[in-house]
Amino acid sequence: MIELSNVVKEYTVIKKKSGLSGSIKSLFKPEKTIVRGVDGISFRIEKGEMVGYLGPNGAGKSTTIKMLTGILHPTSGTVRIGGISPQENRKSVVKQLGVVFGQRTQLYWDLRLGESFELLKRIYRIDEETYQSNLEMMYEVLGIDQLINTPVRQLSLGQRMKGDLAAAMLHSPSILFLDEPTIGLDVEAKQNIRSFIREMNAKRGTTIILTTHDLDDVEQLCKRLIVINHGKVVEDGPLSELILRMAPYRLLVLDLSEMPDPQTLHHHGAELIKQEGLKLTYRFHKSDISASELISGLSAKLSVVDLGVKEPDIEDMIREMYRSSSTA
Amino acid sequence: MVTAIRYHVSVAYFFAKLAVQRQLEYPLFLVSWFLMIPLQYISGVWVLKLMVEQFQALAGWTFPQLAFLYGLGLLSHGLSVIFFIQTWHIDNMVIRGDFDRMLLRPMNVFFQFVVNYVNFIGIIDLIPGFLIFFYGCAQVGFEWTLVNVLKLAAVVIGGMFIRASICTIMGSAAFWTKRSGSLISLTLATMERTTMYPLSVYPKVIQLALTFILPIGFISFYPATDFIGQEDGFTLPVGLAIWTPIVGIVTFAVSHFIFQSGLKRYESAGS
Ligand SMILES: Nc1ncnc2c1ncn2[C@@H]1O[C@H](COP(=O)(O)OP(=O)(O)OP(=O)(O)O)[C@@H](O)[C@H]1O
Ligand SMILES: [Mg+2]
């Protein structure tokens, strides 16, 4: 469906020199440097998938999305959407795409939200019936009916983002690219946007590619993750599998009623990583021992009053992935 | 074909409608409009008066002929301010990554760029042009026959396209140089100077350049020589005025081509 193979994107950056002599010099002999935004990326995404595209700042996420949506031409490699190149056949590809860049609105700053929609209706040649039913749906899911007559520049960030999402869905695209759609939003607005994304994926079967730095987005939305760093793919797989592989540890926290005998603290299936007075923290491998086995083993020796098992979290996993790929 | 035309016209019309509506909404708009009209009028008259006093015959052109020439150039200038002012800012748009939005839409980017804005307020820029031109017409005894009026319309519209194309070409350089600069202001200043006086006051090299490289001569000079029967310095085929719309179409096609080639090198903006 969506296919990238060995895609490289190099940017030409002109170094600005300081001072008058510097700027005269660079006028006649500009000093150009090449920046590799994306350095040989390949992946494939099937119809109806919901994929998180992650990576640290400057990893090349936005660059990839701009190539997938026909904004940028790759320096080398091929990009295909439904078998067609968005660069050679831009118009027919972008017809089926919805794109939202959280950092920059695609709406017209000085138009009312509704006017922007009307304009899109004409540009995409959306027939009246589809337009109305899509608009209806956006009103319902995003609750933007009150905003339709507000100029875009007067919208708050969260309202504008909802407007952008609605605008991206008006022509019923089969693929939706979301580049940081929850950036800078409050908890409530984030939830709205997440349920919108889930709904589009579930009800319409829209393929969704999402970049974000918000781990709750990842946890709640993405079944599959593609992680990049320095312009290269470092991980690609189902979320649960990646967690298991990158952050396989679980933690068991015990509260005791009396000071334990140091001899009794040891357990063969787990490692005691912290002891603070009556609070003990064990780390264990999901595949080595089950939580219940460990608990019954330890509570036989210790006077346990309370306990808690902490699952490995996405934060640990992401940190681990970014760290290991940076040193590699 | 018909549906394609209807589609483009409907989008262009809607953009124009929104642009006009937007400008009318600004409360200050009408005030400044009413203030600007007399100002523009006065400036037009003042320029004329200056011309009468200072411009005497130049390169064999009498003063009324000069007024006709200058006025003709101002008319296409005014039209390009209304319909093509966005071509003055291509370089900044390239640097800021403003073409992203247009690239995401299933419509020709150059078309979107051109119809995207109509500078309705720019209509007042036409006032001095009309004043000076009608003064010139009256003085040189311009005949308002149907043929002449049609020719005049073709020349003014052709001139607008030449101006817009030259700005588009200069602005598109930013796709390669990755910087916005003074190239467009330089071009605008050059166009202003060179449409004001007869081309024949310049050295032959410049005349050639302004005919074949940057065809500024076709904006006002060649058609004016045709309308008022002046010497043009070259012996181009007869009916010089007819050349303006042709050159307009050709340069516009060239500018479209250059813009499209530039767009392939477009790098958007970092954030
Ligand atoms: N228009 C541009 N011109 C020059 N360099 C660019 C441009 N856009 C991006 N880059 C560079 O390419 C690299 C990748 O940038 P990109 O915007 O794709 O990262 P990202 O993964 O989206 O980061 P973030 O999480 O910060 O949004 C960075 O080093 C950046 O400086
Ligand atoms: Mg980004």
Q: What is the ipTM of this complex?
A: 0.85
The boundaries of the domain holding residue B240 are 2-263
Q: Closest Cα to atom 9, ligand 1: which residue?
A: B270
* Residue B217 resides in a domain: yes
Given B106, B107, B264, which is nearest A73 (Cβ)? B264
Residues of A in contact with B105 (CB under 8 A): 94, 120, 123-124
Calculate mean pLDDT across residues B229-238: 58
Distance A231 CA to ligand 1 centre (A): 10
Q: For residue B230, is pLDDT > 70?
A: no
Percent of chain A with pLDDT over 70: 98
Q: What is the pLDDT of residues A189-210, one digit of tens each?
A: 899 999 999 999 999 999 999 9
A123: left (phi over 0), alpha (psi -120 to 50) or beta: alpha
Tokens of residue B5, six digits = 């035309």
* Residue B67 resides in a domain: yes
Is residue A235 within 8 A of residue A29, CB to CB? The reply is: no
CA dist B19 and B118 (Å) reads 6
Tokens of residue B239, six digits = 């009916």
Calculate mean pLDDT across residues A28-48: 90
Q: How many residues are there in chain A? A: 328
* Residue B80 resides in a domain: yes
Calculate mean pLDDT across residues A249-270: 87
In the structure, what pLDDT confidence band is assigned to residue B196 with cuts at 50, 70 and 90? confident
Q: For residue B237, is pLDDT > 60?
A: no
pLDDT at B170: 94
Is residue A41 within 8 A of residue A15, CB to CB? The reply is: no
pLDDT at A247: 73
pLDDT at A243: 78
Task: Pick the ligand that lies closest to the CA of residue A226.
Answer: 1
* Residue B270 resides in a domain: no
Q: For residue A326, is pLDDT > 80?
A: no
Mutate to test the interface with B, among A36, A66, A67, A100 (most CBs of B within 10 A): A66
Given B101, B179, B268, which is nearest A66 (Cβ)? B268
- Closest Cα partner for B262 from B199, B170, B200, B197? B170
pLDDT at B238: 55
Q: Which helix (H) or strand (E) holds A37?
A: strand A31-45
Tokens 């600069």 -> residue: B181
Q: Which residues form the pocket of ligand 1, taking CB atoms under 6 Å from any ligand atom? A: A 11, 13, 35, 37, 55, 57-63; B 267-270
* Number of domains, chain B: 1
pLDDT at B34: 72
Average pLDDT, chain A: 90
pLDDT at A228: 94
* Residue B125 resides in a domain: yes
pLDDT at A323: 80
pLDDT at B173: 94
Q: What is the pLDDT of residues B111-154, one digit of tens each?
A: 999 999 998 888 888 888 888 899 889 988 888 989 889 999 99
Phi, psi of A297 (to 5 degrees): -60, -45
Residues of A in contact with B100 (CB under 8 A): 66, 71, 101, 104, 106
pLDDT at B20: 87
Give B44-73 as a DSSP string.
Answer: HHHHHHHHHHH---BTTB-HHHHHHHHHHH
Give A44-113 as a DSSP string.
Answer: EE-TT-EEEEE-STTSSHHHHHHHHTTSS--SEEEEEETTB-TTTTHHHHHTTEEEEETTB--S-TTSBH
* Residue B203 resides in a domain: yes
Select the more confidently predicted residue: A127 or A311: A127
Strand order in the sheet with A304-310: A270-276, A279-285, A249-256, A304-310
- Residue A230 corresponds to which amino acid? H
Contact B103 A110 (CB under 8 A): no
Q: Closest Cα to atom 12, ligand 1: which residue?
A: A37
CA dist B258 and B252 (Å) reads 10
* Residue B268 resides in a domain: no
pLDDT at B13: 96
Given A14, A70, A95, which is nearest B179 (Cβ)? A14
